[in-house]
Amino acid sequence: MNYTIYHNPRCKKSRDALQLLKKKSVKFKVINYLEELFDKQSLEKILDVIGKKPSEALRKNEEIWKKQFSSKKIGEKEILKLMIKYPKLIERPIVISGNKGVIARPLENLMDFIGKH
């Protein structure tokens, strides 16, 4: 089974997920989503694969969210646009295999996901 990890190298949880994939000796591709940015269609597809609405994959503790947007009533379409504009707002890491995926936070989510595939 091949995996794709949407990775932020500055994030400890993301680095931990990458290490787990290496430890499990599975084939995987790394995409640094802060450099290889999502467009609307690709982010919608990822969210569909992991079964999450934009608000469910949003990092609400990011400074930009707390300072600029947390006090506003924002719908799912607008959250999606913000995630594209500010990719740090996307929860990480995300691991995909075929048409299934998971937010690998906590790491147990990824262990369960690998165990089922």
Enumerate residues 6+ apart whose C-beta is below 8 A from 58: 65, 79, 83, 89, 90, 91
The pLDDT value recorded for residue 24 is 92
Task: Single out the catalytic residue among 2, 7, 9, 11.
Answer: 11
- Res. 69: pLDDT tops 90: yes
Q: Which two tokens stand for residue 61?
A: 């503790």
**CATH number assigned to the domain comprising residue 34:** 3.40.30.10
Q: How many domains does the chain have?
A: 1
pLDDT at 1 over 90: no
Q: What is the pLDDT of residue 61?
A: 94
- Give mean pLDDT, residues 2-29: 95
- Catalytic residue check, 11: yes
- Is 90 exceeded by the pLDDT of residue 108? yes
Domain limits for position 45: 2-116
pTM for the whole thing? 0.93
Distances in Å between the Cα of 89 and the Cα atoms of 22, 33, 73, 113 are 26, 11, 16, 23
pLDDT band at 9 (very low <50, low <70, confident <90, very high): very high
Single-letter amino acid code for the residue at 3: Y
